[in-house]
Structure 1
Amino acid sequence: MKKKLIVLVVFLFVAIIYFVFYHKKSAFTIVSANADVIILVDAKKLTRQYVYNLAIHPSQWFGSKNENKSSISILKSGVEIPDFFQVFHLKNSRFSDWYSVFELKDKQKFITFLKQQKFTDQGNNIFRKDQVYIKLLDKNCIVGTSDQGFESIDYQMLSSSKVNILDAEELISNGLGSILFTSDKVSQNLSIELNSDEITIKNNSNSYDPAPIISKLRQTILFLETELDAKNIKTFSSLFDKTFESSSQINYLKATAELEQVNDTIITYGYDDNFNEIEKKSFQKIIQPNYVIDIQSLNIKKTEQYFQNKKWINTQKQFTAIPFQPNYIEKNTAGFEIKSTRKPIQLSPKRNENYIFVRNNALLLSSFKSLTTSEKKLISNIDYIFYGNNDQDYYLELQFKKQELPLILRW
């Protein structure tokens, strides 16, 4: 009898573990057909990683002392937690506009949850808090960083021909998730990995090792270093202007920048008691980048003409496309060089690789006045951001400052 009871308990325990951490109702997820970037995250893998890290950090077992016991958790908010989270970007929309769709189990309970989280009712079933927008439908809700795409991804109005059905489990072959880039010509699938102090996004190929270049860059003290060839210039410029690379003829870019806090003089005018005009000076501290940019072109005349047509070069030979003034643009045998004039700096050594390296700087936070407390905390915890590319291999790393708790327990 005792053996049967033990077998039953073990069976139930294994069954619970399976259904909570492994069983998926469906591997398929639906996204808008005009999505050009799709991010998928395996919720079950994320849960397993969270529970494992929680188990080895006993200090987090009883939650935060400041936690509001009466608040509704997301698990009980009336929204269905899917087996695969999906976030997507729509074609021809702003780079900052991202969306996700969730199934509603209890619409009224979810509205109560939104009000408790201090979302404001914008009308037309749209709620907003800071830069998060939520539109409620009959059976679904759309969450986005903008409300501009709500109409085109209204699942209640779309026919089956206007949506893509993806096998998320097949796409997520490694890591916690996957980023799928889709286009008429080519598609790219990158894996997402969440480690103790970093988030990496990369190809499944092991042919590109970014460790050597990252090690060299970490030994510098500069805020920004970047070196890009024509292919990478086209990739990044297409986010803002799809014709930039072909029209400008730019085939190489290298940039170096540092940040500095300087005193900015503000001059205003007033009148004294005798109505004589007087000049008043005041000072404020601002963050000013010092930089140098090397631009090489396949056709210097066409590049110069492109800059002129865009009105990016003024009569003082300043490159106005860069908002950080003053600077000076000078033509050379290979292309152009743009330098800040307040405090010129030297271009970092050419490394013959494609990369962007941004090091966190304490001065950054003072520049972002509109950020919320949580957003400032997130940025302050970042150590550096690295992007690297070698042929068909891509790698992106968000390195966070080392702390006692792993990333998954910090948020």
Structure 2
Amino acid sequence: MKKKLIVLVAFLFVITIYFVFYHKDKTLKFVPENTDVLVLIDVKKYTRQYISKLAMHPSQWLGKKSKNKNVISIQKSGVKIPDFLPVFHVRNTKFSEWYSVVEIEDEQKFLNYLKQQKFTKKGKNIFQKDQLFLTIDGEKCIIGTSDLAFKDISNSIVSKKENYPVTSFINGSLGSISFISGSRTRNFSIELNADDIEIKDELYGNDFNKLISKLYSKKGFLETELDSKNLRNLTSFFSKTVADSSQITHFKATADLEEMSDTIITYGYDDNFNEIEKKSFQKIIQPHYAIAIQSSDPQKTEQVFQHKKWINAQNQFTAIPFQPNIIERNKTGFTIRSTRKVIQHSSKQNENYIFVRNNALLSSSFKSLTATEKKMILGLDYIFYGNKAEYYYVKLQFKKEDLPLILRW
């Protein structure tokens, strides 16, 4: 009898583990049809990875004790956390606008949660906290970095003929980023490692470690080298015509940062109403850079720059807000250099990459961020983007610590 009971308990335990950590609803009910970029997070895989790392770090078992026992957790907020959490971008909206939709199981609990999190009511069923907006739409909650597309998203979800299958976008990874264009979808996997986050093409593998090591040893803030295709992809976020119309075939940039004292001159009057000059000083972060642009038709490239009023009478390139700089023309294109401090180009790698190293001088720019956001950014070591043929790779490398990334935040 005892053996049967043990077998039954073990069976029930295995079934419970399966349904809690492995069984998943693989239907995306709340992703609108006009989505062009979709990010998916496998919540149950994330939970398994979190528990696995937590088991190996006993110092974190007690967790952080809350000063207020009445604080409502997201698990008890009245919303249903889906097995695959979608974050999407809607076609023809700003690049900064991202949205997600979740089900509401208990509206009153959810309203209490919003009140505790200090969301303010902006309009009918619309709430805002800092740059985060949300609306209660029946049994759904639409969340976004803007509220401009809430109505369109709601209408699109209601009128959608069929739901997206998860398997079209993610295949075993912790997360994925998918670019959707009509019937074509390009998927990239997201992996959360001990000290880094990798985003890479699912169809092909490549090793950029040697290039990253070489760039990291240069100690500079920015190193980038891009061909016309990569430059077109990058500038498409800002202008759809610049890369094509300017005939640029190759772009290379090197930059570093320096803290400098800036003099501010103001004028006032003394007791006798004589004008007096007042000087004050402030610390500013000034980049020093060298940019090389190659073009298949330098004359046409310059005409495009002139048309856009990017070159002023002082022969400065005004599209770069950090001045003064000077443009030097050559047979193949242009070189743009900052003039306060001369910086030399690094050697050409004949690769497509962007390498940005975190710099302590940037910390003064993080004043508007939350404590968690500051911790994440300050913990970042570098960001790398690489492309070879049809293979794309992005790596967010964080500074090495005792705890893995999943337990740091």
Q: 1:25 to 1:37 in 2, by over 3 A?
A: closer
Cα deviation 1:143-166 (Å, max 9, x = unaligned): 1111222122125874125xx732
SS at match of 1:289: strand
Give the secondary-structure state (helix, strand or coil) at the position aligned to 2:285: strand
Which residue of structure 2 lines up, in the alignment, with residue 310 of structure 1? Answer: 308
Greater alpha carbon shift after TM alignment, 234-243 vs 204-213:
204-213
Query: Which letter does structure 1 place at the counterpart of 2:173?
Result: G
Paired residue secondary structure (1:214)? helix
RMSD (Å) for aligned C-alpha atoms:
1.6
Match of 2:323 in 1: 325
Counterpart in 1 of 2:256?
Answer: 258
CA shift digits 1:332-374 (9 cap, x unpaired): 1111111111111001110000000000100011133322322
Amino acid at match of 2:20: V
1:156-235 correspondence to structure 2 within 5 Å: 158-161=158-161, 165-184=163-182, 187-235=185-233
- How far is 1:230 from its partner? 0.6
Which range is displaced more, 53-62 or 378-387? Answer: 53-62
Matching residue of 1:385: 383
Separation in 1 of the partners of 2:40 and 2:154? Answer: 20
Match of 1:127 in 2: 127
**Pair 231,67 (structure 1): closer, same or farther in 2 beyond 3 Å:** farther
How far is 1:235 from its partner? 0.7
More deviation in 111-120 or 24-33? 24-33
Q: Is the 8 A contact 1:181 1:187 kept in 2?
A: yes
Instruction: State the match for 1:270 in structure 2.
Output: 268
1:350-361 to 2 correspondences below 5 Å:
350-361=348-359
Report the more deviating stretch, 389-398 or 87-96.
87-96
Secondary structure of 1:152's counterpart equals: helix
Query: Which one-letter code corresponds to 1:48 in the other structure?
Result: R
The answer to whether the 8 A contact 2:35-2:89 is kept is yes
| Distance 1:50-1:346 versus aligned 2 partners, 3 A rule | same
Is contact 2:289-2:343 (8 Å) kept?
yes
Letter of the aligned partner of 1:39 in structure 2?
V
Please tell me the residue identity of whatever aligns with 2:64. S
Q: Distance in 1 between matches of 2:70 and 2:133?
A: 24
Counterparts of 2:336 and 2:109, CA distance in 1: 56
> Distance in 2 between the 1:96 and 1:399 partners?
23
Q: How far apart are residue 67 of structure 1 and its match?
A: 5.1
How many Å separate the matches in 1 of 2:325 and 2:84?
48
Number of residue pairs matched by the alignment: 409
Counterpart in 1 of 2:54?
54
Determine the structure 1 residue equivalent to 2:139: 139
When normalised by structure 2's length, the TM-score is 0.96
Aligned to 1:290, which of 288, 291, 301?
Answer: 288
Distance between the aligned counterparts of 1:67 and 1:327, measured in 2?
53
SS of residue paired to 2:309 = coil
Give the percent of matched residue pairs that are identical in Structure 1 and Structure 2. Answer: 61
In 1, the alpha carbon distance for the partners of 2:245 and 2:93 equals 22
Please give the alpha-carbon distance, in whole angstroms, between the structure 2 residues aligned to 1:339 and 1:122.
47
Assess, with a 3 A threshold, how the Cα gap between structure 1 residues 370 and 191 changes in structure 2: closer, same or farther.
Answer: same
Residues 175 and 194, structure 1, Cα contact 8 Å, conserved in 2: no
Check whether the contact 2:53–2:404 (CA below 8 A) recurs between aligned residues: yes
1:60, 1:3 → 2: CA distance?
Answer: 36
Equivalent in the alignment of 2:77: 77
Asked if structure 2 preserves the Cα contact closer than 8 Å seen for 1:29 and 1:168, the reply is no
Contact kept? 1:27, 1:83, Cα under 8 Å: no
- Please give the alpha-carbon distance, in whole angstroms, between the structure 1 residues aligned to 2:8 and 2:252: 66
Aligned 8 A contact 1:287 1:367 in 2:
no
CA offset at residue 79 of structure 1? 0.6
